[in-house]
Amino acid sequence: MNTYQHDWHTSEGYDGGLHHCRKCKRSHQGPRLEAHDCPVSDAEHHAVAWLGHAGLYRTRFDAVRNFEQSVTPVSVDELFELASKQILSQINEGCQRG
């Protein structure tokens, strides 16, 4: 299993603070941990869509619900590029028909 750096934010500043990871939702009381043991990558945390064998999904849960075995997180830039390619493909297909 890969491990990544937590994205901590502090909600209570006393006794070292109560820290929450924005990515994996883990909480920790005391000094902020610097360990790289977060199970969620930055790409997964910032994904706007998920790409599986059968297509694009809005959430990872949707992909799993559709029995996808492997999904890849898609960033905003990647989503824009995929959409642009799809539109160009449809335009080219329309030109070949007409």
- The domain locations on the chain are 8-41, 47-97
pLDDT grade for 13, boundaries at 50, 70 and 90: low
* Averaged pLDDT, 79-95: 88
DSSP string for 7-62 = -EEEEE-STT-EEEETTT--EEESSPP----BSS-HHHHT-SEEEETTEEESSHHH
Q: Is the pLDDT of residue 1 over 80?
A: no
pLDDT tens-digit readout, 14-65? 667 888 888 888 888 887 777 678 888 888 887 899 999 998 999 888 999 9
Return the residue matching tokens 């603070």. 17
68-74 contacts, C-beta under 8 A, 24 or more apart: 73/41, 73/43, 73/44, 73/46, 73/47, 73/49, 74/47, 74/48, 74/49, 74/50
pLDDT at 14: 67
Q: Is the pLDDT of residue 67 over 90?
A: yes
State the pTM of this model. 0.58
